[in-house]
Structure 1
Amino acid sequence: MTPSSSVRQTLAANLRRERNRRGLSLSELSRLSRIGKATLSQLESATGNPTIETVFSLSRALDLPISDLLETDPSGSVTVVRAADTEVLSGEGVDLRPLRRIQTGGLIVEVYDQQVRTDGRQASLGHAGTEHTIVQSGRLDVEVDGHLTRLGPGDYIAFDASIPHGYAAPEGPVRSVLLLQYRTPRSQQDDDESAVNAPH
């Protein structure tokens, strides 16, 4: 599935911001992320088609949460996310729908609806954060650092997401909930605390 123009534009703006904030050239980011310079240029101009693999590689290279690249900021005391209104980010074997970013204290948690297809294996070299997966239906194979675990409905797994890992659904499609947990960078915590404690 091709990402919509809104996803491409959001990623383009956030990627440019994060790369410039770090003082990285396209060539330097290409080396860190293992993504071609031409592809990065297309992503920054909102003409490329980002995949899960691309976004996770950028997250790893820039050491930031996925939602910092794809963030849409919900507001209000009640949040409802309709399946039909959510952009799908596809990879070799997984379709991800971002549902919510939760930030509290020194933690950020991203909530995703994750569907693992039977037509491919979703592999990751690793990225920032801790990964949590809860299987809703189907049988899910999770490989972490070369060790395979098979999960069924209701089963849960958590691991350091910086370790190479992968997902596969050998017996049919799998529906699961993916949570990505990050620690807030110290500088951001200090900024947040300063803003709270500043005189009004």
Structure 2
Amino acid sequence: MHVGEGSIRERLAVNLRRARTERGLSISELSRRSAIGKATLSQLESGTGNPTIETVFSLSRVLEVAISDLLDATPPAGPTVVRAAEVEALSGEGVDLRPLRRIEAGDAVFEVFDQRVRADRRQDSLGHVGTEHTIVQAGRLGVRVEGREVELGPGDYVAFDATLPHAYTALDGEVRSVLLLQYRADQRLHLADTSDGTVDTP
């Protein structure tokens, strides 16, 4: 996942338009399926909206595409260094996500995020494509997946089918963790690039 080119809202504007067009959906139909207002979708596609975790994950679920297909810019050549202070966070009710990198290996695609669950907060998700992997670095994290709950501490790991409803809760202060989202090749939109390396817009 390359995050150094443009803001999250700028990249989402380009990629959301592309994904919606690829799926043959009007803004009205996407609004109906995602329960996101047409005005909000129009703002997101024009780059003037304020995307949240809930919005982006809802769009990922409805469009059946990886998060990185909505947030990525064109990948750079050579080594990639991501400085924490330079990465814009995508925030939700209880979580701040900083996209760090997309890794493609054969048919598998992984997205790596720095995930922070704010103290005494909960982040709910209706589900989205992919498999979710979380490794706790600091704090105690409550994870609920379709009614089953587990508690994780530093060094603990959990994985589950991300299409299931799930939630993260910070149980004792802020939780710092690494989130990896794993996708099969058929769960990605495969946005085409133009010959000059820029993303081709419809």
Counterparts in 2 of 1:23 and 1:54: CA distance versus 1, 3 Å = same
- Residues 62-104 of structure 1 deviation map (CA, whole Å, 9 limit, x = unaligned): 0010000000344344221101111110000000000000112
Q: Structure 1 residues 186 and 55 mapped into 2: Cα distance closer, same or farther (>3 Å)?
A: closer
Shift, 1:45, TM fit? 1.0
Q: What percent of counterpart residues are identical?
A: 67
- Counterpart-to-counterpart distance in 1, 2:13 and 2:177: 28
CA distance in 2, matches of 1:32, 1:184: 24
TM-score, normalised to structure 1's length? 0.88
Partner of 1:56: 57
* 1: CA distance, partners of 2:33 / 2:19: 14
Q: Distance in 2 between matches of 1:8 and 1:183?
A: 26
Note if 1:30 corresponds to 2:31.
Answer: yes
How far apart, CA to CA, are the structure 2 residues paired with 1:48 and 1:136? 32
1:89-128 equivalences in 2 (<5 Å) = 89-128=90-129
In 1, Cα distance between equivalents of 2:188 and 2:178: 30
Which position in structure 2 is the counterpart of 1:86? 87
Aligned-pair distance for 1:21? 1.3
> Residue 95 and residue 80 in structure 1: after superposition, are their counterparts in 2 closer, same or farther (change >3 A)?
same
Distance 1:187 1:151 in 2: 30
SS of aligned partner of 2:7? helix
The amino acid that maps onto 2:52 is: T
Secondary structure class of the residue paired with 1:72: coil
Distance 1:151 1:6 in 2: 33
How far does residue 187 in structure 1 lie from its aligned partner after superposition? 9.4
| Amino acid in structure 2 at the alignment position of 1:25 | S
1:187–1:139: structure 2 CA closer, same or farther, 3 Å change rule?
closer
SS of equivalent to 1:111: strand
Q: Note closer, same or farther for the CA distance 1:169–1:62 as it changes in structure 2 (3 Å cut).
A: same
- Specify which structure has the bigger relative contact order, considering alpha-carbon pairs within 8 angstroms and separated by 6 or more residues: 2
Q: How does 1:1-200 map to 2 (within 5 A)?
A: 6-185=7-186
2:120, 2:172 within 8 Å by CA — same for their partners in 1? no
**Structure 1 CA distance for aligned equivalents of residues 174 and 69 of structure 2:** 29
Structure 1, 136-145 or 27-36: larger mean CA deviation = 27-36
Instruction: Write the letter of the residue equivalent to 2:59.
Output: L
Q: Distance in 1 between matches of 2:189 and 2:41?
A: 26
Give the drift of 1:186: 8.2
The alpha-carbon deviation at position 173 of structure 1 amounts to: 0.2
Q: Write the letter of the residue equivalent to 1:96.
A: L
Q: Residue by residue, what CA displacement relative to the aligned partner does 1:30-67 show, whole Å, maximum 9, x if unpaired?
A: 12212111111111111110000000000000001000
Alignment-mate amino acid for residue 28 of structure 1: E
Once superposed, which parts of structure 1, at least 4 consecutive aligned residues long, lie more than 4 Å away?
186-189
CA spacing shift, 1:41–1:84, aligned 2, 3 Å: same
Residue ranges of structure 1 left out of the alignment (5+ in a row): 192-200
Mean Cα deviation higher: 149-158 or 68-77: 68-77
Alignment RMSD: 1.8
Unaligned runs of 5+ in 2: 1-5, 193-202
Distance of 1:187 and 1:172 partners within structure 2: 35
Q: Which structure has the larger Rg over C-alpha atoms?
A: 1
Q: Which has the higher helix share?
A: 1
Q: Distance in 1 between matches of 2:7 and 2:45?
A: 13
